[in-house]
Structure 1
């Protein structure tokens, strides 16, 4: 849990992902299309990835991956990010980071 909090606070936009997950890829593409470069942590390629995934589940995301953090706060998974985007609120969050 400490590693998640540390990474989230050190990176404006952070995505915990799996390299084989199509929903993770879709969220990454969305940020790319918005011309944003998040820090991406592919948990299936790091030694403590299983522990990170368990900790993400405990944080309360509807689905543990992808887990998107903006400004150090958990935004959520694919459904939450897409909902924010469709309502126009995702861009607003990203603009607040840039200020």
Structure 2
């Protein structure tokens, strides 16, 4: 769990994912379309990936991936992220992490 918290606190937006997960890909694309550059951590390429998955579940993430953190805080998995986006509350949470669009 320490690795998860460290990564989440060192980066503005962190998405724990798996390279073969379509839901992870969808969430990543949403964040990119919203003008952010999240730190993507593919658990299937991490030797400690299984332990990280277990830590995410213990932290309350609905599914092991994707797990989204913004400013060190667990936002949740796909359902939570999409609900925040549809309700209009995700964009304000991204604040300074959004690139200035010209």
In structure 2, the residue matched to 1:14 is 14
The alpha-carbon deviation at position 42 of structure 1 amounts to 0.2
Partner secondary structure for residue 24 of structure 2: helix
Take 1:96 and 1:44, find their aligned partners in 2: how far apart are those partners?
A: 30
TM-score (norm 1): 0.95
Distance, in Å, in 1 between the alignment partners of 2:87 and 2:23 is 19
Structure 2 runs not aligned, ≥5 long: none
Larger fraction in helix: 1
Give the aligned partner of residue 45 of structure 2: 45
Unaligned runs of 5+ in 1: none
Contact 1:9/1:72, CA 8 A, preserved across alignment: yes
Distance 2:45 2:94 in 1: 27
Structure-1 separation of matches of 2:82 and 2:20: 20
